[in-house]
Chains A and B, each alone.
Chain A
């Protein structure tokens, strides 16, 4: 079955630690995205990638970093510089970057900073 997997499902972090959230897709999609969800708010775009070795900042990139070394993988690192990292994180992909292309989502990772 084609789809997007995210791991882990739940992640706990101590303040001051960096953590990396995994996102893998086997849909052969070029574009990938990271979103953050907070209670009562819409999904907010953190980073997106059009193609391997290319990525761009979204609306709330501060305190986050990404890499895109393989087409299938787009890991997100939440650094200690992120002031309020506790949130639900969703990864998505689409065939190509650009409006009108349907985005497919993973099941998400809930990050809690202790």
Chain B
């Protein structure tokens, strides 16, 4: 993996269902992975910063795991609610100054 990639590009979830999606990143020279939530017409908002292999972070119904050796992170949403509808971005550091962003996964929760 040379760049940060996210899949799927979009997904639709029924209210109450759980879902998850993937961020892949270069595993060499890994420093930290950032997850952001970006709601329509708002600023991207930081969710998690993950640094250690095996790291798990949780914020309410949203959680994330990190595998630095194979270069991937999963973000999970448990019991999706309409307010979870957003684009979720992940980003990994490339060198000392640059955050490399994935294209995002857009989640739409249907009532």
Contact = CB atoms under 8 A, between A and B. Distances in A.
Interface in B38-91: 41-46, 49, 51, 89, 91
Contact of B43 (A4, A40, A97): A4
The range of chain B's interface size is: 20 to 34
Given A4-B43, A43-B89, A107-B43, A99 B31 contact: yes
A106 B43 contact: yes
A98 B3 CA distance: 19
Interface size class of A (residues with CB under 8 A): 20 to 34
B43 A58 contact: no
Contacts of B103: 40-42
A42 B46 contact: no
A1 B37 CA distance: 20
Interface of B: 3-4, 9, 31-32, 34, 36, 41-46, 49, 51, 89, 91, 93, 95-104
